[in-house]
Amino acid sequence: MRIITEDQVRERLKIMEAFQAVENSYRLFSQGKTIASPTTSMSVRSGMFYSFPAFIDGSPIFISKQATDYRDNSSRGLPTVHPYILVFDSETGVLDSIIEGRYFAATRTALSSAVGVKHLAKHPKRIAIFGTGVQGRSHVRVLSKLFPTIEEIRLFSPASAHVEQAVSELQSETSNVLIAASSARDAVLDADVIVTATSSKTPVFNHTDLKMGALVIGVGAMKNDQEIPTETVSSSQVVVDALSNVVMYDEIRLAQNMNKNLKVLGEIGALIDKNVKIHLGMTTIFKHHGLPVTDAALAETLL
């Protein structure tokens, strides 16, 4: 059994191969060619433990992502989430590898957002990213490498010092113009794609600042959180990672309460297969929080 460290994940990651694997896993998921058992979870003291197993038909491996979420860790100077990917041989069931998961998970999430950008945004030039943590930074790295049409990336957080630090650290890793936005409004104005990768419980931008036809990708919020204004979701076309996940997305539920006619168009995998159609020029929401099958797809590229 091997331990694949975060440094080794960085060394082995081939961005285009990883992107194509994650994109294809969404398609196979919507075709019913994957297996992902319900998530197992339990409360342990002040935190939560989760287990997410997944298998893609025909793959030489299957995985179980194990993760802990301890929100009080921020006061201890520790990350709140600790993920690990257990990789098993699908023929023998033998544990082959354990992948350290923080960089892995952040990259997987950014690659998932990139799938949305490819299929829901046409030749994006201006990107706004809310959040300067692991997720926000990963989105800067991944999107800047995959989309040569991007001319400018604006990074924003209410903590201006964090923004300046992130821009300083990331500038050498991107050929795009990376800007520390001075306000949420400055970040959003004329942006073709807006990524919300925060832990905010309230909307991070104003609906009126949004460009008509923009793509908004919601990454951070689950139940009891809300990064995207209800007005934005209720007046947009909505695509999700999995229809079964919609019950966990309060941003969509709140919008449906406001607009009873709001319907989720479908899954991104069905859209890739052209079984879902979107209206060009209309504002679009892509809401995702990570499918275990995308973890399985990315893990296979690293072995």
Q: What is the pLDDT of residue 274?
A: 95
Residue 221's pLDDT band, with cuts at 50, 70 and 90, is confident
From residue 231, alpha-carbon distances to 127, 131, 196 in Å are 21, 21, 16
- Contacting residues for 68 by C-beta, under 8 A, at least 6 apart: 44, 47, 48, 49, 50, 81, 82
Q: What is the pLDDT of residue 220?
A: 84
Instruction: Judge residue 76's burial from the number of C-beta atoms within 10 Å of its C-beta, 0-12 exposed, 13-18 middle, 19 or more buried.
Output: exposed
What does pTM read for this prediction?
0.95
Residue 79's pLDDT band, with cuts at 50, 70 and 90, is confident
Domain ranges across the chain: 2-104+293-302, 117-291
Residue 262's pLDDT band, with cuts at 50, 70 and 90, is very high
**pLDDT tens digit string along 90-141?**
999 999 999 999 999 999 999 999 999 999 998 999 999 999 999 999 999 9
**pLDDT tens digit string along 156-186?**
999 989 999 999 999 988 888 999 999 999 9
Q: What is the pLDDT of residue 94?
A: 98
Q: What is the pLDDT of residue 83?
A: 95
**pLDDT tens digit string along 263-272?**
999 999 999 9
Distance between CA atoms of 81 and 52, rounded to whole angstroms?
Answer: 14
The whole-chain average pLDDT of the chain stands at 95
Give yes or no for a contact between 25 and 294, defined as CB atoms under 8 angstroms apart. yes
Does the pLDDT at position 222 exceed 90?
A: no
Residue 80's pLDDT band, with cuts at 50, 70 and 90, is confident
Q: What is the pLDDT of residue 74?
A: 83
Does the pLDDT at position 68 exceed 80?
A: yes
Fold classification of 117-291 is Rossmann fold (3.40.50)
Does the pLDDT at position 39 exceed 90?
A: no
Q: What is the pLDDT of residue 225?
A: 80
**CATH no., domain 2-104+293-302:** 3.30.1780.10
Please list the residues that pair with 40 across neighbouring strands: 51
Q: Determine what percent of the chain is predicted with pLDDT higher than 70.
A: 100
